[in-house]
Amino acid sequence: MDKSQLQDFIKSIKPDADIRDGKNYLEVTVPAADLYNLASKLRENRETDFDFLVNLTGIDYGKDFGVIYHLESTKHKHFIVLKTITSGRENPAIDSVCALWNTAEFHEREVYDLLGIKFNNHPDLRRLFLDSSWGFPLRKDYVDDVNIVSK
């Protein structure tokens, strides 16, 4: 499946998805509420078969947070980048994709640990590297008076 066919497939599932032909990969942005459904269909469809979550990372946009997923089909040799934005900074949350890709378990824990984004239905969402005294050090508004980390 080439980028054009992949784009058509995504549009058939989520017509209002923001799809861009990035430098290397097709980049698809959807609301957080729609991400799991789209990811599930990309994983389960035989023509797309995105069987490998290469990377999952979080990003602080200032007002909101984002989560970015790099997916690969090892069978069909195609890639895609899924992006979503959480609502607000107070209690950012998004549905976990651990049920689709086991590798998400530690990636999501890392994002939670460093940015404070919660992943609903995660099987073991707890801090991975830091204790709670650190807060969330990758947030742009992070202030650390105890551990003396400055930006």
pLDDT digits (tens, 9 = 90+) for 79-115: 999 999 998 888 999 999 999 999 999 999 999 999 9
In the chain, what are the domains? 3-134 (3.30.460.80)
Amino acid in position 5: Q
Q: Which residue has the tokens 């990758």?
A: 138
What global pTM score does this model have?
Answer: 0.91
Q: Which residue has the tokens 């969402």?
A: 125
pLDDT digits (tens, 9 = 90+) for 41-81: 999 999 999 999 999 999 999 999 999 999 999 999 999 99
* Alpha-helical runs (H) found in 1-151: 3-13, 32-44, 104-115
